[in-house]
Structure 1
């Protein structure tokens, strides 16, 4: 059942990514889902999305990745027990501060780090896959042979499992967030999606098959870091290679997410949905430093106050809200603006299936297994209207806003800079 969820999560991610690919080549501008929702569904849904993304979804995602990094990075030093919670949180905060600093000072450094860590991530996964093939060759298939024995999971359980799977696949929407900075987005966005996601799906399934050659499903659910447990049983005294490799690659994931968050807030600020301060760039490094700093500070708050499982639940639930709204925007734009150039067009059944899946994964856990974080999340989403009505709709301004903006400009060394010049310089 777990392997089926991994495959289903990969297929759902691929279908949603194809929908994003059409929007990315049709409207190649920074901001991704925010831009599509605003153009198709209007200013209010777009503001709710950017509020939820900026103050809940993105910080929760970054904090979850930081927790995952610390779990693997500290495991070699605490092989016989769990690492102390205070140390994990302290290391997570340190990593977030470090990567916010790097991304604020130099985009080139951030991209070079991303290339290195992506290579390390693929190396770690490939090592696990190859070792799993060896274990299968030795006849260790007794766990896999049990198949679908046991009680079948309910709809809400499957939905929550897919949330976890979708979080592991997340990242395919990143190309749309930085479409303005891509070379030839009309060709490269569909090309990247159609090659990367099938490869990642295959890797994830084979990695989990490898885990099941030496661990029972119960042991997997009880392990805080499954890769660590697998490595201790298969690699012996060299077990530390896997947790350190995974920690380094997760470090790269945090770096990539940090890189993107500043761009999203930059795009929203240009549209008037966030304070103008977030549409400013660093005067020396031409990076969207204000948005990056905000994401880092909010992520640190999530690290201090939340557990890993709670963070992933937040992320999974609202990811599906955003995906569903974005795919609906695709249908609206096809109907309202049929003459827009569309170099790539996803088949209609895929769009409808993605929307249907999104509605199911939004409603199933709320109806079958309601949790307080869903209620808090919905309140946070619609609570954004308290700010939208006076400050966006009626454009209310206070004089001290200008003074605060001026002080923040001096502290962060940012100003309004022509974006085309900034992208050319980068």
Structure 2
């Protein structure tokens, strides 16, 4: 699974590199979908807006943060103490990136280094475990390593969701390219190095876990397997200390995610498709997308507190991963369409990096599988949920996209039809110096008069050209 997941992540990195170097603006997938899927006008933007606004990406690692902090304090985890600490985690991330962006980025980068150090330490400790030096008897996990596994489509997809979630940052840079110096050069250098090195380290990290953590203990540890690993290697005190460092790593992820998602909401506000767009588009008063960050904080808190005990983390990961796979189908499918029709429909397409057609098709087909396979019922005892239907994350995700389509239907089709007006997109510059789009309502009579006038002017120009 880790090999397959790493290949998918590498292909995804290549696809997003091509998009990012061709359209180096804040907003990520929003820009790419709008570039390819122009008709019906505003439909794709509205559906993507629902996906971006109504999903709490920062929720899952906030839950992990709470679980590791409680493990470090040797406190039994329950539904509310775990999520209460998670609430404090995501609130701190929101406040830091709202009021002190520069310090937030410095902290985010520092915690990224902490995460790399932890992974490297796990890898080295894994070599020690393979040599037989640990606090427990060797677990012999490499003997009959695949015993008890299944090859059901549902099981494979759930495993891949968790693997790909570990690489989810490969698209984060695309959400803030307007704020990146020389984005094409930065992406060319940083992204390939990051995805290859992280992929190798994750593989070695898994070998280390299998070398030191018995299968039964691994299954019962849940999200705290890293702490269990250090407990088996160095004793109970090391387990508690490592829990603190892993919690800090999770906090770094929350900082990274809320940073990028706040800018997506801001980009949608500047596109004019959201209600109260002026608020979401603004950088005031702290030169940060505070409104977009607050919106993501609210949604993440709701999603974090809602699931029943035992299912929270898996539901949150799947609720993010499934709609992301749908978006990736359209992002990669759109790029395939560009490759096949470039000369006719996209003659100006000139990215700094090319993913190549085979890699893009592989990424598209991989995500199609991740979209379809979860509907195959799991075998008895194989569902990742204890108290929820196995398909719930799929239904919720499709419902979110449907809400976006309904919003489009009401805002861009029905209201203009019954109100007898058309939506006209204009550009304005706000007090913070950033331009944004606004939609004005032009009466049909005025629009028809303008069309008639333009048609007459074109006819007159043709006649003058003829003479």
TM-score (structure 2 length as normaliser): 0.80
Equivalent position to 1:338, from 332, 344, 347: 347
- Cα distance, 1:179 vs structure 2: 1.1
Question: How many angstroms does 1:112 deviate by?
Answer: 0.7
Match of 1:260 in 2: 260
Label 1:353 to 1:280 Cα distance change in 2 as closer, same or farther (>3 A): closer
Checking the alignment, whether the CA contact within 8 Å between 1:28 and 1:185 is kept in structure 2 is: yes
Task: Check conservation: 1:135, 1:210, Cα contact below 8 A.
Answer: yes
Q: Closer, same or farther in 2 for the Cα pair 1:151/1:24, shift >3 Å? A: closer
Aligned residues: 393
SS in 1 for 2:211: coil
Check conservation: 2:48, 2:404, Cα contact below 8 A. Answer: no
Residue equivalent to 1:407: none
Structure number with greater CO (CA < 8 Å, separation at least 6) is 1
1:116 aligns with 2:110: yes
Q: Corresponding residue for 2:241? A: 241
CA contact (8 A) 1:135 1:213 kept: yes
Distance 1:419 1:274 in 2: 17
Select the residue among 217, 220, 230 that pairs with 1:219.
Answer: 217
Partner of 1:22, secondary structure, is helix
Report if the CA contact (8 A) 2:304-2:316 is conserved: no
2:401 is aligned with 1:381: yes
Q: 2:102 & 2:412 partners in 1: Cα distance?
A: 34
CA distance in 2 between partners of 1:366 and 1:97 (Å): 35
In the TM superposition, what are the counterparts of 1:63-142 in structure 2 within 5 Å? 63-78=59-74, 82-138=76-132, 140=138, 142=140
What is the deviation of 1:196? Answer: 0.4
Indicate how the Cα distance of structure 1 residues 394 and 38 shifts in structure 2: closer, same or farther if over 3 A, else same: farther
Rounded to whole Å, the distance in 2 between the matches of 1:286 and 1:243 is 35
**Cα drift, residue 195 of structure 1:** 0.6
* 2:169 counterpart SS class: coil
Equivalence map 1:385-396=2 (5 Å): 385-393=405-413
> Which whole-Å CA distance do the structure 2 matches of 1:163 and 1:305 have between them?
21
- Structure 1 contact 33–326 (Cα < 8 Å) conserved: yes
Which 5+ residue runs of structure 2 have no aligned equivalent?
A: 379-389, 417-429, 436-467
1:294, distance to aligned residue in structure 2 (A): 0.4
Q: CA shift at 1:270, angstroms?
A: 1.6
Q: Which residue of structure 1 aligns with residue 186 of structure 2?
A: 188
What is the distance in 1 between the residues matched to 2:285 and 2:326?
Answer: 37
Contact 2:9 2:164 (8 Å CA) reproduced: yes
| Residues 389/30 of structure 1: CA separation in 2 closer, same or farther (3 Å cut) | same
User: Does 1:320 pair with 2:348?
Assistant: no
Structure 1 residues 68 and 352: CA distance shift in structure 2, 3 A: same
- Aligned partners of 1:268, 1:186: CA distance in 2, in Å? 23
The residue correspondences of 1:244-323 to structure 2 (distance < 5 A) are: 244-275=244-275, 276-306=277-307, 307-323=312-328
- Tell me, yes or no, if the aligned pair for 1:279 and 1:416 is still in contact at 8 Å: no
1:20 matched residue in structure 2:
16
Partner of 2:446: none
Q: Secondary structure at the match of 2:212?
A: coil
Bigger helix share: 1
Q: Would the aligned equivalents of 2:266 and 2:289 in 1 still touch at CA under 8 Å?
A: yes
Structure 1 range deviating more: 298-307 or 138-147: 138-147
Matches within 5 A, 1:142-221: 142-221=140-219
SS of residue in 1 equivalent to 2:91: helix
**1:274 CA displacement:** 1.4
Taking structure 1 as the reference length, what is the TM-score of the superposition?
0.88
Alignment partners' CA distance in 2, 1:283 and 1:267:
15
Match of 1:30, SS state, is coil
Q: Which residue of 2 aligns with 1:35?
A: 31
Deviation, structure 1 residue 149 = 3.4
Quickly say closer, same or farther: Cα 1:380–1:280, change in 2 above 3 A: closer
Query: Is contact 1:261–1:292 with CA below 8 Å preserved after alignment?
Result: yes
3-state SS of paired residue (1:147): coil
| Preserved contact between residue 178 and residue 263 of structure 1 (Cα < 8 Å) | yes
Equivalent pair of 2:270/2:281 in contact (CA under 8 Å): no
1:147: how far off? 2.9
Alpha-carbon separation, structure 2, partners of 1:94 and 1:183 = 33
How many Å apart are 1:136 and its aligned residue?
A: 0.9
Q: Aligned equivalents of 1:392 and 1:178: distance in 2?
A: 28
Q: Is the 8 A contact 1:272 1:392 kept in 2?
A: no
Classify the secondary structure of the residue corresponding to 1:390: helix
CA distance in 1, matches of 2:30, 2:148: 43
How many angstroms does 1:333 deviate by?
A: 3.4
Q: Give the 3 Å change call, closer, same or farther, for CA 379–55 of structure 1 in structure 2.
A: same
